[in-house]
Structure 1
Amino acid sequence: MKWSLSEINKKKYIDFNESLELAEELKGRSQEILDAKNVQAIGSVAYDDGLYYLDYQLKANLTLPSSRSLKPVDYPMEVFVSEIFSTEDEMKNNEELLNSDMIFNLEKDLIDLDESVADNILLEIPLKILAEDESEEDEALPAGQNWTVLSEEAYAKAQAEKEKEAKEKASPFAGLSDFLNEK
């Protein structure tokens, strides 16, 4: 779905409810995405005082590889997107807009919903995704002779315990605790 700037200027406000077929585009842009289904955007595009506002609720069902085993994992996604656009001429005339990182400069005379949705899906892909049978509670991390793989949480806990033990041993009263425990 694309809207020309003149169409948006004329209507000032346009509601939309679009189902998008973006699986091939997303797979071409990221090896992380194995499939994308039920991509839907519900929202509006509006014009006010030189700015174009694109606000929508994005829903999609992605298939991503597990971070641990590369098994396909279904990942439902729901995100609210709010983007502000302006033309290059408008940005030149308004220095505040030029210095704003929150406003996108329109390179064409149109706003492309497909492009926005694809970009926002790619931004929302998590770094860590596990299949149900791979959760840390259900399956131990790999280990071998004299080595183990730790999660960040387990590593932080082990470091805290080491620091606590080191402080206790450094205390001049550490020997007294053994003496008091004997009685």
Structure 2
Amino acid sequence: MNWSLSDLMKHKEPLHFNENLDLKEDLISRTSEILDVNLVKVDGYAIKDRDAVLISAKVTGAIVVPSSRSLRPVNFKLDFTVNEYYVEAGTNLDRFEATETVLPVQDDQIDFSKAVADNIILQIPMQIFSPEEQDGKTPMPAGDDWEVISEADEKDAQIKQVDPRLAKLKDLFNSEDSDPK
């Protein structure tokens, strides 16, 4: 999805686009976090806004990423919106809010496929688990002299673990309660 910024600036009416993009090769070459990519559907508008072009698009699809716990493949649904302003390089950006994405365009070309790929990479969560791992139906990974434990199990182990120097004090209060005075 390549457009000329000058051509988009000439449109009086919003330009509607609805395309399926094959971003598999690009995404897999850019990050090892993505194992597979289905076709990505992009539906949106390019709208002239004074000295800029706003491209607003809804992106849907699915990618396959490794589980954070077991590294097994997990399907991750994509459903997000991209809103980006494109301006000529050197344009004064004072009128835009700090929260808005404003990208200067070099050589009058907008490669929106690259922008979609960038945003897909940003959508990948820090931790992702398969449905079985979320439900606790699969055992935690383990190996020789190591195992993964949940935070709850770790807290239980800390509570049960008593400092050996203080172990005798535990019985002290029990014996005082049982001694009649």
Report the TM-score, using the length of structure 1 for normalisation.
Answer: 0.73
Residue matched to 2:138: 139
1:1-183 matched pairs, under 5 angstroms: 1-12=1-12, 13-91=14-92, 95-96=94-95, 102-135=101-134, 137-142=136-141, 149-151=148-150, 154=152
Unmatched segments (≥5 aa) in structure 1: 162-174
Distance 1:38 1:147 in 2: 40
Q: Please, which runs of 5 or more residues in structure 2 have no aligned partner?
A: 160-172
Q: Which amino acid aligns with 1:154?
A: A
Shift of the alpha carbon at 1:99? 7.5
Are the aligned partners of 2:70 and 2:141 in contact in 1 as well (CA < 8 Å)? no
Distance 1:100 1:87 in 2: 19
Alpha-carbon displacement from aligned partner over 1:126-163 (angstroms, at most 9, x marks no partner): 1111223222532353579x986444x638976xx8xx
Q: Is the 8 A contact 2:52 2:85 kept in 1?
A: yes
2: CA distance, partners of 1:57 / 1:99: 22
Change (3 A) 1:100 1:132: closer
Cα separation, 2, equivalents of 1:132 and 1:42: 29
Instruction: Give 1:56 shift.
Output: 0.4
Larger Rg: 2
Give the residue type in structure 1 aligned to 2:77.
Answer: P
Q: From the superposition, tell whether residues 136 and 22 of structure 1 become closer, same or farther in structure 2 (CA, over 3 Å).
A: same
Q: How many residues align?
A: 162
Distance in 2, matches of 1:36 and 1:78, equals 14
Task: Identify the range of structure 1 (78-87 vs 100-109) with the bigger mean alpha-carbon deviation.
Answer: 100-109
TM-score (norm: length of structure 2): 0.74
SS in 2 for 1:69: coil
Match of 1:167 in 2: none
In 2: Cα distance, 1:26 partner to 1:49 partner:
33
Aligned residue for 1:135, secondary structure, equals helix
Q: C-alpha separation between the residues in 2 aligned to 1:82 and 1:157? A: 44
Structure with greater helix share of residues: 1
Q: Aligned to 1:126, what secondary structure does the other structure show? A: coil
* CA shift in 2, pair 1:22/1:156, >3 Å: same
